[in-house]
Chain A
Amino acid sequence: GAVVSQHPSRVICKSGTSVKIECRSLDFQATTMFWYRQFPKQSLMLMATSNEGSKATYEQGVEKDKFLINHASLTLSTLTVTSAHPEDSSFYICSAKKSGRGYEQYFGPGTRLTVT
């Protein structure tokens, strides 16, 4: 199998606080993990590519100081939304690619973030 978990599934936080979302590959090693965001009625938009042991690569328009990504092990990547604001409210979903194995991505179930 190839199971990816994401925690928490839902989080509500106050404006100005930081929120950390975890993405774990449960039964495989993932050198590369991806973080996506989805606004209502829009497609999944890639925010950043996270590589174990190195700095994440951010897509154009995504603030790296606001969305901190850490990929400290082969099974865990975290996304921290710092100083969250209501416009950061969205659905965040991660995926993981098996180390050295083609291009297939395995997705977590996503995190619904609401900033009040």
Chain B
Amino acid sequence: ILNVEQSPQSLHVQEGDSTNFTCSFPSSNFYALHWYRWETAKSPEALFVMTLNGDEKKKGRISATLNTKEGYSYLYIKGSQPEDSATYLCAFMGWDGTSGTYKYIFGTGTRLKVLA
């Protein structure tokens, strides 16, 4: 069974603080790792697609790193702003030998609240 875990489940930070959270995934049969930002009542918005071990991606104040050998990815937000408040989801894409297909497995998300 492919399992993707995110931590922490939720966190509150003050405006201006930097923060980071973790996505853990199976280290075998890796194909891609996606990060999404999901604001309440809106569609999840793709942030990053990461495919190579050691990948680092950046979009404004948000960046992400990938370690496929140990099965984790970090998402960093520098100088958090209230508009960063959202749930951040990661999704692992990998080969599932049991079903013989690629699987796309979401974590439960990290709910970030940035306090003004």
Contacts and interface: CB of A to CB of B under 8 A. Distances in A.
A43 B106 contact: yes
B89 interface: yes
Nearest to B31: A103
Interface string A72-116: 000000000000000000000100000000111111111000000
A104 B41 contact: no
Given A102-B49, A103-B32, A104-B34, A46 B43 contact: no
B108 interface: yes
Query: Main SS of the interface on chain A?
Result: loop
B108 A43 contact: yes
Contact of B104 (A46, A60, A93, A109): A46
Interface string B7-34: 0000000000000000000000001101
A42 B91 CA distance: 13
B44 interface: yes
Which of A44, A45, A46 has the most B CB atoms < 10 Å from its CB? A44
A104 B46 contact: yes
Contacts of A105: 34, 46, 104
Interface string A10-46: 0000000000000000000000001010000111111
B114 interface: no
Contacts of B104: 34, 46, 105
Interface of B: 4, 31-32, 34, 36, 41-46, 49, 89, 91, 93, 99, 103-109
Given A43-B89, A43-B105, A43-B106, 17 more contacts: A34-B104, A36-B106, A43-B107, A44-B106, A45-B106, A46-B103, A46-B105, A60-B99, A102-B49, A103-B31, A107-B36, A107-B43, A107-B44, A107-B45, A108-B43, A109-B42, A110-B43
